[in-house]
Chain A
Protein backbone atom coordinates (compact mmCIF):
# COMPACT_ATOMS: atom_id res chain seq x y z
CA UNK A 1 0.00 0.00 0.00
CA UNK A 2 1.57 3.33 -1.00
CA UNK A 3 1.45 6.52 1.01
CA UNK A 4 -1.35 8.03 -1.08
CA UNK A 5 -3.58 4.99 -0.44
CA UNK A 6 -2.81 5.15 3.29
CA UNK A 7 -3.62 8.85 3.24
CA UNK A 8 -6.96 8.06 1.67
CA UNK A 9 -7.76 5.52 4.40
CA UNK A 10 -6.82 7.97 7.13
CA UNK A 11 -8.99 10.64 5.52
CA UNK A 12 -11.93 8.22 5.30
CA UNK A 13 -11.70 7.37 8.99
CA UNK A 14 -11.23 10.97 10.06
CA UNK A 15 -14.31 11.90 8.07
CA UNK A 16 -16.37 9.50 10.16
CA UNK A 17 -15.72 11.92 12.99
CA UNK A 18 -15.36 15.20 11.15
CA UNK A 19 -17.63 14.87 8.11
CA UNK A 20 -16.77 18.33 6.81
CA UNK A 21 -13.11 17.49 6.50
CA UNK A 22 -11.84 17.95 2.94
CA UNK A 23 -8.34 17.21 1.71
CA UNK A 24 -6.81 20.57 1.01
CA UNK A 25 -3.24 21.73 0.68
CA UNK A 26 -2.77 22.07 4.40
CA UNK A 27 -4.93 19.23 5.60
CA UNK A 28 -1.96 17.20 6.80
CA UNK A 29 -0.99 20.12 9.01
CA UNK A 30 -4.39 20.31 10.68
CA UNK A 31 -4.15 19.88 14.41
CA UNK A 32 -6.19 16.94 15.66
CA UNK A 33 -7.18 18.65 18.88
CA UNK A 34 -7.62 22.28 17.86
CA UNK A 35 -8.71 22.04 14.22
CA UNK A 36 -10.63 18.77 14.31
CA UNK A 37 -11.86 19.00 17.92
CA UNK A 38 -10.76 15.45 18.72
CA UNK A 39 -10.38 14.27 22.31
CA UNK A 40 -7.93 11.55 23.29
CA UNK A 41 -10.67 8.96 23.53
CA UNK A 42 -11.87 9.85 20.02
CA UNK A 43 -8.30 9.42 18.82
CA UNK A 44 -8.32 5.95 20.36
CA UNK A 45 -11.51 5.13 18.44
CA UNK A 46 -9.85 6.40 15.25
CA UNK A 47 -6.79 4.23 15.87
CA UNK A 48 -9.00 1.20 16.43
CA UNK A 49 -10.90 1.91 13.21
CA UNK A 50 -7.62 2.21 11.33
CA UNK A 51 -6.42 -1.06 12.84
CA UNK A 52 -9.52 -2.79 11.55
CA UNK A 53 -9.48 -1.21 8.08
CA UNK A 54 -5.78 -1.73 7.48
CA UNK A 55 -5.24 -4.97 9.43
CA UNK A 56 -2.49 -3.43 11.50
CA UNK A 57 -1.80 -3.49 15.21
CA UNK A 58 -1.08 -0.27 17.00
CA UNK A 59 0.89 -1.02 20.13
CA UNK A 60 -0.09 -0.15 23.66
CA UNK A 61 2.84 2.23 23.93
CA UNK A 62 1.57 4.79 21.42
CA UNK A 63 1.90 8.21 22.98
CA UNK A 64 -1.27 10.08 22.08
CA UNK A 65 0.30 13.35 23.15
CA UNK A 66 2.76 12.94 20.28
CA UNK A 67 -0.07 12.75 17.73
CA UNK A 68 -0.52 16.44 17.19
CA UNK A 69 -1.41 16.73 13.52
CA UNK A 70 -2.98 14.65 10.77
CA UNK A 71 0.54 14.18 9.43
CA UNK A 72 1.64 12.62 12.74
CA UNK A 73 -1.26 10.18 12.54
CA UNK A 74 -0.46 9.35 8.94
CA UNK A 75 3.21 8.82 9.79
CA UNK A 76 2.27 6.47 12.62
CA UNK A 77 0.04 4.35 10.39
CA UNK A 78 2.45 4.40 7.46
CA UNK A 79 5.25 3.33 9.77
CA UNK A 80 3.28 0.26 10.81
CA UNK A 81 2.51 -0.75 7.24
CA UNK A 82 5.90 -0.16 5.66
Chain B
Protein backbone atom coordinates (compact mmCIF):
# COMPACT_ATOMS: atom_id res chain seq x y z
CA UNK B 1 0.00 0.00 0.00
CA UNK B 2 1.46 3.33 -1.03
CA UNK B 3 1.82 5.94 1.65
CA UNK B 4 -0.74 8.64 1.08
CA UNK B 5 -0.24 12.33 1.67
CA UNK B 6 -2.20 13.30 4.81
CA UNK B 7 -4.12 15.99 2.94
CA UNK B 8 -5.23 13.32 0.46
CA UNK B 9 -6.29 10.86 3.13
CA UNK B 10 -9.81 9.68 3.84
CA UNK B 11 -9.27 10.43 7.53
CA UNK B 12 -8.51 14.08 6.91
CA UNK B 13 -11.23 14.68 4.32
CA UNK B 14 -13.93 13.28 6.61
CA UNK B 15 -13.47 16.26 8.90
CA UNK B 16 -14.36 18.64 6.08
CA UNK B 17 -17.68 17.00 5.28
CA UNK B 18 -20.94 18.62 6.26
CA UNK B 19 -22.87 21.76 5.39
CA UNK B 20 -23.80 20.24 2.03
CA UNK B 21 -20.31 18.89 1.24
CA UNK B 22 -19.53 15.23 0.87
CA UNK B 23 -16.19 13.55 0.35
CA UNK B 24 -15.53 11.78 -2.93
CA UNK B 25 -12.46 9.66 -3.43
CA UNK B 26 -10.80 10.11 -6.82
CA UNK B 27 -8.86 6.84 -7.29
CA UNK B 28 -6.64 7.98 -10.20
CA UNK B 29 -5.46 10.89 -8.03
CA UNK B 30 -5.22 8.78 -4.84
CA UNK B 31 -6.90 11.76 -3.25
CA UNK B 32 -10.28 13.16 -2.25
CA UNK B 33 -12.38 16.12 -3.29
CA UNK B 34 -15.42 17.68 -1.70
CA UNK B 35 -18.61 17.59 -3.73
CA UNK B 36 -21.45 20.01 -3.26
CA UNK B 37 -24.93 19.48 -4.73
CA UNK B 38 -27.29 22.34 -5.50
CA UNK B 39 -30.07 22.53 -2.93
CA UNK B 40 -32.71 22.82 -5.62
CA UNK B 41 -31.29 20.26 -8.05
CA UNK B 42 -29.14 17.37 -6.77
CA UNK B 43 -27.96 16.67 -10.30
CA UNK B 44 -25.98 19.92 -10.24
CA UNK B 45 -22.68 18.88 -8.63
CA UNK B 46 -19.39 20.73 -8.34
CA UNK B 47 -16.15 19.53 -6.79
CA UNK B 48 -13.38 21.39 -5.02
CA UNK B 49 -10.03 20.51 -3.56
CA UNK B 50 -9.56 20.26 0.18
CA UNK B 51 -8.20 22.92 2.51
CA UNK B 52 -5.37 23.89 2.46
CA UNK B 53 -4.25 22.16 -0.73
CA UNK B 54 -5.18 19.45 -3.16
CA UNK B 55 -2.01 17.44 -2.55
CA UNK B 56 -1.92 15.37 -5.73
CA UNK B 57 0.50 12.50 -6.17
CA UNK B 58 3.28 13.73 -8.45
CA UNK B 59 2.82 10.74 -10.76
CA UNK B 60 -0.97 10.55 -10.67
CA UNK B 61 -3.10 10.34 -13.79
CA UNK B 62 -4.72 13.77 -13.86
CA UNK B 63 -6.87 13.16 -16.93
CA UNK B 64 -8.17 9.87 -15.61
CA UNK B 65 -9.16 11.69 -12.40
CA UNK B 66 -11.06 14.31 -14.36
CA UNK B 67 -12.78 11.56 -16.38
CA UNK B 68 -13.71 9.81 -13.14
CA UNK B 69 -15.28 12.99 -11.77
CA UNK B 70 -17.23 13.47 -15.00
CA UNK B 71 -18.52 9.90 -14.77
CA UNK B 72 -19.74 10.75 -11.25
CA UNK B 73 -21.83 13.56 -12.71
CA UNK B 74 -19.60 16.36 -11.43
CA UNK B 75 -19.89 19.47 -13.60
CA UNK B 76 -16.64 21.16 -12.70
CA UNK B 77 -13.68 20.91 -10.36
CA UNK B 78 -11.55 23.67 -8.85
CA UNK B 79 -8.52 23.24 -6.66
CA UNK B 80 -5.33 24.82 -5.37
CA UNK B 81 -2.17 22.77 -5.77
CA UNK B 82 0.44 21.96 -3.15
CA UNK B 83 3.76 23.43 -4.31
CA UNK B 84 5.63 20.60 -2.57
CA UNK B 85 3.46 17.68 -3.66
CA UNK B 86 1.98 17.99 -7.13
CA UNK B 87 2.42 16.67 -10.67
CA UNK B 88 4.74 18.61 -12.98
CA UNK B 89 3.42 21.98 -14.07
CA UNK B 90 3.27 20.88 -17.72
CA UNK B 91 0.98 18.01 -16.74
CA UNK B 92 -1.30 20.34 -14.76
CA UNK B 93 -1.46 22.75 -17.68
CA UNK B 94 -2.24 19.95 -20.12
CA UNK B 95 -5.02 18.43 -18.00
CA UNK B 96 -6.89 21.45 -16.65
CA UNK B 97 -8.72 24.13 -18.67
CA UNK B 98 -7.32 26.74 -16.33
CA UNK B 99 -4.00 26.54 -14.53
CA UNK B 100 -2.34 29.70 -13.38
CA UNK B 101 -0.24 30.99 -10.50
CA UNK B 102 -2.55 31.83 -7.65
CA UNK B 103 -0.56 32.78 -4.59
CA UNK B 104 2.92 32.50 -3.16
CA UNK B 105 3.66 30.04 -0.40
CA UNK B 106 6.47 30.81 2.03
CA UNK B 107 8.95 28.08 2.90
CA UNK B 108 12.02 27.16 4.77
CA UNK B 109 14.08 25.01 2.45
CA UNK B 110 17.07 23.84 4.46
CA UNK B 111 18.85 22.95 1.23
CA UNK B 112 18.66 26.58 0.12
CA UNK B 113 20.95 27.76 2.88
CA UNK B 114 20.97 28.48 6.59
CA UNK B 115 17.76 29.50 8.28
CA UNK B 116 17.94 33.14 9.26
CA UNK B 117 14.98 35.14 10.46
CA UNK B 118 14.42 38.80 9.93
CA UNK B 119 15.70 40.85 12.84
CA UNK B 120 12.17 41.89 13.70
CA UNK B 121 11.18 38.22 13.87
CA UNK B 122 14.15 37.32 16.08
CA UNK B 123 13.24 40.12 18.45
CA UNK B 124 9.60 39.10 18.54
CA UNK B 125 10.46 35.45 19.16
CA UNK B 126 12.71 36.46 22.07
CA UNK B 127 10.16 38.86 23.50
CA UNK B 128 7.35 36.37 23.12
CA UNK B 129 9.43 33.59 24.72
CA UNK B 130 9.87 35.76 27.79
CA UNK B 131 6.10 36.12 28.14
CA UNK B 132 4.90 32.56 27.55
CA UNK B 133 5.97 28.93 27.77
CA UNK B 134 5.79 26.80 24.64
CA UNK B 135 5.46 23.03 24.52
CA UNK B 136 3.95 20.19 22.52
CA UNK B 137 0.44 19.18 23.51
CA UNK B 138 -2.21 16.73 22.32
CA UNK B 139 -4.84 18.58 20.30
CA UNK B 140 -7.43 16.15 21.68
CA UNK B 141 -6.93 17.79 25.10
CA UNK B 142 -7.69 21.26 23.75
CA UNK B 143 -10.52 20.76 21.26
CA UNK B 144 -12.86 23.33 22.78
CA UNK B 145 -10.17 26.00 23.00
CA UNK B 146 -9.07 25.26 19.43
CA UNK B 147 -12.61 25.65 18.11
CA UNK B 148 -13.22 28.80 20.12
CA UNK B 149 -9.96 30.42 19.01
CA UNK B 150 -10.56 29.37 15.41
CA UNK B 151 -14.02 30.98 15.46
CA UNK B 152 -12.34 34.23 16.50
CA UNK B 153 -9.77 33.92 13.70
CA UNK B 154 -12.47 33.05 11.14
CA UNK B 155 -14.46 36.14 12.13
CA UNK B 156 -11.43 38.43 11.87
CA UNK B 157 -10.54 37.02 8.45
CA UNK B 158 -14.19 36.69 7.36
CA UNK B 159 -13.58 33.11 6.34
CA UNK B 160 -16.39 31.24 4.64
CA UNK B 161 -17.03 28.13 2.57
CA UNK B 162 -14.90 25.06 3.17
CA UNK B 163 -12.53 27.03 5.44
CA UNK B 164 -15.36 27.74 7.83
CA UNK B 165 -14.71 24.58 9.81
CA UNK B 166 -17.52 22.97 11.73
CA UNK B 167 -17.36 21.42 15.21
CA UNK B 168 -16.33 18.01 13.78
CA UNK B 169 -13.18 19.38 12.21
CA UNK B 170 -10.86 19.54 15.21
CA UNK B 171 -11.80 16.18 16.79
CA UNK B 172 -11.15 14.58 13.41
CA UNK B 173 -7.85 16.42 12.98
CA UNK B 174 -6.78 15.37 16.48
CA UNK B 175 -6.88 11.71 15.41
CA UNK B 176 -4.32 12.16 12.64
CA UNK B 177 -0.99 10.53 13.35
CA UNK B 178 0.84 13.13 11.23
CA UNK B 179 -0.28 15.93 13.55
CA UNK B 180 1.95 17.98 15.82
CA UNK B 181 0.33 20.59 18.05
CA UNK B 182 2.41 23.28 19.69
CA UNK B 183 0.88 25.43 22.37
CA UNK B 184 1.82 28.60 24.20
CA UNK B 185 0.76 29.12 27.81
CA UNK B 186 0.78 32.12 30.07
CA UNK B 187 0.84 30.59 33.50
CA UNK B 188 -1.57 27.69 33.15
CA UNK B 189 -3.70 29.44 30.54
CA UNK B 190 -3.55 28.34 26.92
CA UNK B 191 -3.20 31.40 24.68
CA UNK B 192 -2.07 30.08 21.28
CA UNK B 193 -2.19 26.86 19.27
CA UNK B 194 0.01 26.13 16.30
CA UNK B 195 -0.98 23.03 14.36
CA UNK B 196 1.39 21.26 11.99
CA UNK B 197 1.06 18.31 9.66
CA UNK B 198 4.11 16.29 8.69
CA UNK B 199 4.59 14.27 5.52
CA UNK B 200 8.01 12.75 4.93
CA UNK B 201 10.50 15.65 5.06
CA UNK B 202 7.84 18.34 4.81
CA UNK B 203 6.21 20.02 7.81
CA UNK B 204 3.14 22.06 6.92
CA UNK B 205 1.98 24.88 9.14
CA UNK B 206 -1.68 23.93 9.10
CA UNK B 207 -3.43 26.41 11.35
CA UNK B 208 -2.52 28.94 13.98
CA UNK B 209 -4.93 30.44 16.46
CA UNK B 210 -4.72 32.66 19.49
CA UNK B 211 -7.00 34.26 22.01
CA UNK B 212 -6.71 37.97 22.80
CA UNK B 213 -3.87 37.40 25.25
CA UNK B 214 -2.00 35.26 22.72
CA UNK B 215 -2.35 37.96 20.07
CA UNK B 216 -1.27 40.57 22.61
CA UNK B 217 2.06 38.89 23.31
CA UNK B 218 2.55 37.64 19.73
CA UNK B 219 2.78 34.07 21.01
CA UNK B 220 2.62 32.75 17.45
CA UNK B 221 6.23 33.93 17.01
CA UNK B 222 7.34 31.78 19.93
CA UNK B 223 5.37 28.82 18.52
CA UNK B 224 6.96 29.20 15.08
CA UNK B 225 10.41 29.43 16.64
CA UNK B 226 9.69 26.23 18.55
CA UNK B 227 8.39 24.49 15.41
CA UNK B 228 11.44 25.40 13.36
CA UNK B 229 13.64 23.69 15.94
CA UNK B 230 11.24 20.79 16.45
CA UNK B 231 11.20 19.98 12.72
CA UNK B 232 14.96 20.26 12.37
CA UNK B 233 15.02 16.98 10.44
CA UNK B 234 12.59 18.25 7.81
CA UNK B 235 14.03 19.76 4.68
CA UNK B 236 10.93 21.89 4.13
CA UNK B 237 8.73 23.86 6.45
CA UNK B 238 5.77 25.19 4.53
CA UNK B 239 4.14 28.24 6.09
CA UNK B 240 1.52 28.50 3.35
CA UNK B 241 0.31 31.48 1.37
CA UNK B 242 -1.82 34.45 2.32
CA UNK B 243 -5.35 34.04 3.48
CA UNK B 244 -7.55 35.63 0.83
CA UNK B 245 -8.04 35.86 -2.87
CA UNK B 246 -4.60 36.98 -3.99
CA UNK B 247 -1.13 37.71 -2.73
CA UNK B 248 -1.07 40.98 -0.93
CA UNK B 249 1.68 42.90 0.77
CA UNK B 250 -0.98 44.70 2.77
CA UNK B 251 -2.12 41.72 4.81
CA UNK B 252 -0.11 41.33 8.01
CA UNK B 253 0.24 37.56 7.59
CA UNK B 254 2.57 37.75 4.58
CA UNK B 255 5.07 39.69 6.65
CA UNK B 256 4.75 37.13 9.42
CA UNK B 257 5.31 34.18 7.08
CA UNK B 258 7.92 35.73 4.82
CA UNK B 259 10.01 36.81 7.82
CA UNK B 260 10.64 33.17 8.72
CA UNK B 261 11.21 31.90 5.20
CA UNK B 262 14.23 31.57 2.95
CA UNK B 263 12.33 30.42 -0.16
CA UNK B 264 8.99 30.79 -1.90
CA UNK B 265 7.03 28.76 -4.41
CA UNK B 266 3.88 29.43 -6.39
CA UNK B 267 0.69 27.51 -5.76
CA UNK B 268 -1.54 27.09 -8.79
CA UNK B 269 -5.24 27.57 -9.24
CA UNK B 270 -6.62 24.83 -11.45
CA UNK B 271 -10.11 24.44 -12.85
CA UNK B 272 -11.82 22.21 -15.35
CA UNK B 273 -15.26 22.06 -16.84
CA UNK B 274 -16.10 18.37 -17.03
CA UNK B 275 -19.42 17.65 -18.65
CA UNK B 276 -18.36 19.25 -21.92
CA UNK B 277 -15.50 16.71 -22.13
CA UNK B 278 -17.80 13.77 -22.81
Query: Which residues of A are interface residues toward B (Cβ below 8 A)?
Result: 16-20, 33-42, 44-45, 47-49, 60-65
- Chain B residue contacts of A61, Cβ below 8 A: 245
**Complex-state Cα separation, A30 to B178, whole angstroms:** 41
15 contacts between A and B (CB under 8 A): A16-B76, A18-B76, A19-B275, A20-B44, A36-B46, A37-B45, A41-B48, A42-B46, A42-B271, A44-B245, A44-B269, A47-B245, A49-B98, A61-B245, A62-B245
Interface size class of B (residues with CB under 8 A): 35 or more
Residue contact B273 to A16, C-beta cutoff 8 Å: yes
Quick check: is B252 within 8 A (CB to CB) of the other chain? no
**Complex-state Cα separation, A35 to B102, whole angstroms:** 26
Query: Which residues of B are interface residues toward A (Cβ below 8 A)?
Result: 20-21, 34, 36-41, 43-46, 48-49, 75-76, 78-80, 97-98, 100, 102, 158, 160-163, 244-248, 269, 271, 273, 275-276
B82 CB to nearest chain A CB (Å): 14
B40, B100, B160, B273: the one within 8 Å of A40 (CB): B160
**Complex-state Cα separation, A48 to B21, whole angstroms:** 24
Q: List 17 other contacts, CB 8 Å, given A17-B46, A35-B39, A44-B78.
A: A16-B76, A16-B276, A17-B76, A18-B46, A19-B273, A34-B38, A36-B44, A37-B20, A37-B45, A39-B34, A39-B48, A39-B78, A40-B163, A44-B245, A45-B78, A48-B100, A60-B248
A11 CB to nearest chain B CB (Å): 14
Given contacts A60-B245, A64-B160, contact A37 B37 (CB under 8 A): yes
**Complex-state Cα separation, A35 to B100, whole angstroms:** 27
B157 CB to nearest chain A CB (Å): 11
- Chain B residue contacts of A41, Cβ below 8 A: 48-49, 78-80, 161-162, 269
- Chain A residue contacts of B163, Cβ below 8 A: 40
- Chain A residue contacts of B41, Cβ below 8 A: 20, 35
**Complex-state Cα separation, A44 to B268, whole angstroms:** 12
- Chain A residue contacts of B75, Cβ below 8 A: 17-20
- Chain B residue contacts of A60, Cβ below 8 A: 244-248
User: Which 5 A-B pairs have CB atoms at the shortest separation, nearest pair first?
Assistant: A45-B271, A40-B161, A60-B246, A17-B76, A16-B273
Residue contact A42 to B76, C-beta cutoff 8 Å: yes
Interface residues of B, dominant DSSP: mixed
Given contacts A17-B46, A19-B75, A36-B38, contact A45 B98 (CB under 8 A): yes
**Complex-state Cα separation, A50 to B36, whole angstroms:** 22
**Complex-state Cα separation, A64 to B245, whole angstroms:** 8
CB nearest neighbor in B for A34: B39
CB nearest neighbor in B for A31: B39
A35, A45, A47: the one within 8 Å of B38 (CB): A35
A20, A35, A42, A65: the one within 8 Å of B158 (CB): A65
**Complex-state Cα separation, A62 to B43, whole angstroms:** 30
- Chain A residue contacts of B80, Cβ below 8 A: 41
B46, B160, B244, B248: the one within 8 Å of A37 (CB): B46
CB nearest neighbor in B for A60: B246
- Chain A residue contacts of B247, Cβ below 8 A: 60
A17, A20, A47: the one within 8 Å of B273 (CB): A17
- Chain B residue contacts of A17, Cβ below 8 A: 46, 75-76, 78, 273
- Chain A residue contacts of B49, Cβ below 8 A: 41
Given contacts A20-B44, A45-B269, A60-B245, contact A39 B36 (CB under 8 A): yes
